[in-house]
Amino acid sequence: MLEVKNLSHAPRGSVAIQNFDLTLEDGEKLAIIGLHNSGKSMLLQILAGYIIPHEGSIKIGQSDLRYNAQEARRYFGYVPSHPTLNGEWKVEETFRMFATMRGMPFPTNTAEDLAEKWLLKKELSHCIHELHYGQKMRVLMALATLHDPDLIFLDDPFQGLDPKELHSTIDILGRKFSKSSMILATNTVECLPGWIDRILVLDSGSTVIDQKFLGIAPLMQTLAELWKEPRGNDKESLDTLSP
């Protein structure tokens, strides 16, 4: 589904991603974890085509993202870490506009079907600014998945969600997109969904751990061992990895 080779990106001369390789199989769910400024968000923006890397290749499906971006974008959806939509837009109008941008036909009942999937039926006629944070994030996820993508990039989508929103979001992703590959970048380790297959830990843009997800407790132990030694002014508490 996704093949990344020798990916490097050094904005303003400071290496953020270096010699990064990744293969993601069809249906595989990967969580990327790292301290702040480890490169998680930048990596997802590169994989989604918003940043052009200085080196390396990204193949999504059968398409090279650099040379055939339009074709590659048919395969994936991207959810940013914060709602970035115009507050004056109505939810149903937003669904239709994004479908049009993707060149998709959008029958009358499609908005309702999409809203039902993401628990937004009552909000279809509302403006974005009338929604609370969790609803806005579900709108973003609906927009990223309106074309039922084979691959979904999720940049810290659980941050700021209350327990009910967190549960419903994890449930929808796990049930409705069980066949999709996913890359979830997050620091909320204690909220990692049970449907995650694999864990990748980033440190200064490089992979330091890549292993099967065996549960939260073993993972927390592994991370505690990894970061138990101070690392100068950049040392952060493991507490930053929990809600």
- Is residue 14 classed exposed, middle or buried when 0-12, 13-18 and 19+ CB atoms within 10 A define those classes? exposed
CA-to-CA separations, 182 to 6, 9, 18, 29, 145, in angstroms, rounded: 21, 22, 22, 5, 12
Within a domain: residue 235? no
Within a domain: residue 198? yes
Within a domain: residue 237? no
What does the pLDDT read at residue 215?
92
Residue 193 or 82, more confident: 193
Token pair of 130 as six digits: 């009338």
CB contact set of 237 (below 8 Å; sequence gap of 6+): none
The string of pLDDT tens digits covering residues 59-94 is 998 888 888 888 888 899 999 988 888 999 999 999
**Range of weakest confidence among 13-17, 19-23, 162-166, 221-225:** 13-17
Within a domain: residue 47? yes
**CATH code: domain of residue 35:** 3.40.50.300
Quote the pTM value. Answer: 0.88
Within a domain: residue 42? yes
Separation CA 99–CA 240 (nearest Å) = 37
Mean pLDDT of 166-176: 93
H-helix or E-strand containing 175? helix 163-176
Residue 161 or 212, more confident: 212
Within a domain: residue 105? yes
Token pair of 134 as six digits: 């969790």
Separation CA 7–CA 131 (nearest Å) = 38
CB contact set of 95 (below 8 Å; sequence gap of 6+): 106, 110, 111, 114, 115, 142, 143, 146
Q: How confident is the model at residue 237 (pLDDT cuts 50, 70, 90)?
A: very low
What does the pLDDT read at residue 230?
53
Q: Hey, is 198 helix, strand or coil?
A: strand
**Range of weakest confidence among 186-190, 211-215, 231-235:** 231-235
Range of the domain at 60: 2-230
Within a domain: residue 236? no
Q: Are 35 and 203 in contact (CB under 8 A)?
A: yes
Q: How many separate domains does the chain show?
A: 1
Q: How confident is the model at residue 35 (pLDDT cuts 50, 70, 90)?
A: confident
Task: Give the mean pLDDT of the chain.
Answer: 88
H-helix or E-strand containing 41? helix 40-47
Within a domain: residue 222? yes
